[in-house]
């Protein structure tokens, strides 16, 4: 019996795609089909997928389309899906063996649940762990009616852990193909406005962080993060307070990125906006103060060093 359609968009991802496919084959839950959407690849993606044909038979489906981007590839995969549940896996990510079993069990526990997600761990290009994403203190925001928490960025749902009911698309709509980042949060928010969300409290997937990935381009991410906030504010989905909280989270994350790159001077105006938009968060004021102090210390030290030069 087919229950789950696994959607894997692939664009020149032949290097990592076998790892993703093998992680699907290793699942303890076996009522699935694998839909690989080749988004105009110019590498050996087609041949690689074909090599799994004899092993997977009709559980494997290959769909080719000219390059149209990640959201469009996911939508193409969903349109081709035969299962009543949709599970997402990008070509460079991988699942742990219990990923589907845990997700389906959570979905089946409550008919009002439209989306399930779980813990995930980030890995580098070699597959070595570089840290979990969800700290323990956000657990209270991870399940139930969490649309506001998704909008204000209290929670980050990992794409390789997400499963949702196919019928959610009828009510919430498809991936927004005009967006070039944050299109996943955009759909999770829309689904969460209509359905309950469930959380699998264990690591069920690995998310690969690559130098050339969209998430490694902070300016691009910033543009689309703010686009997402304004899109739903203009549509009346969120009020003014939630908008300010969401913008504060975006500026705080941007400040944190710059801070970790030792660009504290550039981090300061971002922390300032975070504190201005959401003054209730002590962490925003703390990081602003810390960045200012460190920047001043560096200027003072540089001044002393220059004064010692002959």
In the chain, where are the structural domains located?
A: 4-213, 239-307
Query: pLDDT of 112-122, one tens digit each?
Result: 999 999 999 99
Topology of 239-307 in CATH?
Answer: 1.25.40
Angle between helices 282-307 and 264-277 (to 10 degrees): 150
Kindly write down the DSSP assignment for every residue of 218-284, as one continuous string.
HHHHHHHHHHHHHHHHHTTSS-HHHHHHHHHHHHHHHHHHHHHTT-HHHHHHHHHHHHHH-TT-HHH
Let me know if the fold of 4-213 is the same as that of 239-307: no
Query: pLDDT of 68-80, one tens digit each?
Result: 999 999 999 999 9
pTM, whole model, 2 decimals? 0.93
Which CATH superfamily groups domain 4-213? Spore Coat Polysaccharide Biosynthesis Protein SpsA; Chain A (3.90.550.10)
Is the pLDDT assigned to residue 137 strictly greater than 60? no
Query: pLDDT of 147-168, one tens digit each?
Result: 999 999 999 999 999 999 999 9
Question: Parallel, antiparallel, or unpaired: how do β-strands 196-208 and 4-10 relate?
Answer: unpaired
């Amino acid at each position: 019996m087919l229950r789950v359609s696994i959607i894997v968009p692939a664009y020149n991802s032949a290097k990592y795609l076998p790892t993703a496919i093998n992680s699907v084959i290793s699942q303890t839950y076996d009522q699935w089909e694998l839909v690989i959407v080749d988004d105009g690849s110019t590498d050996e993606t087609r041949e690689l997928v074909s090599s799994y044909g004899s092993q997977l038979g009709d559980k494997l489906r290959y769909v080719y389309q000219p390059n149209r981007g990640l959201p469009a590839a996911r939508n193409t995969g969903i349109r081709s899906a035969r299962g009543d549940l949709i599970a997402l896996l990008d070509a460079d990510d991988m699942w742990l063996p219990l990923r589907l079993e845990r997700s389906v069990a959570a979905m089946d526990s409550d008919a009002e649940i439209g989306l399930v997600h779980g813990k995930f761990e980030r890995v580098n290009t070699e597959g070595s762990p570089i840290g979990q994403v969800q700290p323990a203190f956000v657990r209270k925001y991870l399940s139930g009616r969490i649309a506001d928490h998704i909008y204000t960025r209290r929670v980050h749902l990992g794409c390789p852990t997400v499963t949702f009911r196919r019928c959610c698309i009828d009510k919430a709509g498809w991936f927004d193909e005009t967006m070039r980042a944050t299109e996943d949060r955009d759909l999770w928010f829309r689904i969460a406005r209509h359905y309950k969300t469930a959380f699998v409290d264990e690591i069920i997937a690995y998310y690969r962080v690559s130098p050339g990935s969209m998430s490694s381009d902070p300016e691009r991410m910033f543009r689309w993060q703010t686009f997402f906030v304004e899109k739903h504010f203009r549509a009346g989905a969120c009020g003014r307070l939630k908008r300010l909280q969401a913008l504060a989270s975006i500026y705080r994350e941007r400040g944190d990125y710059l801070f970790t790159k030792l660009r504290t001077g550039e981090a300061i105006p971002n922390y300032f906006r975070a504190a201005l938009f959401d003054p209730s968060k002590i962490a925003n004021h703390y990081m602003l103060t810390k960045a200012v102090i460190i920047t001043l210390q560096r200027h003072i030290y540089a001044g002393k060093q220059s004064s010692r030069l002959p």
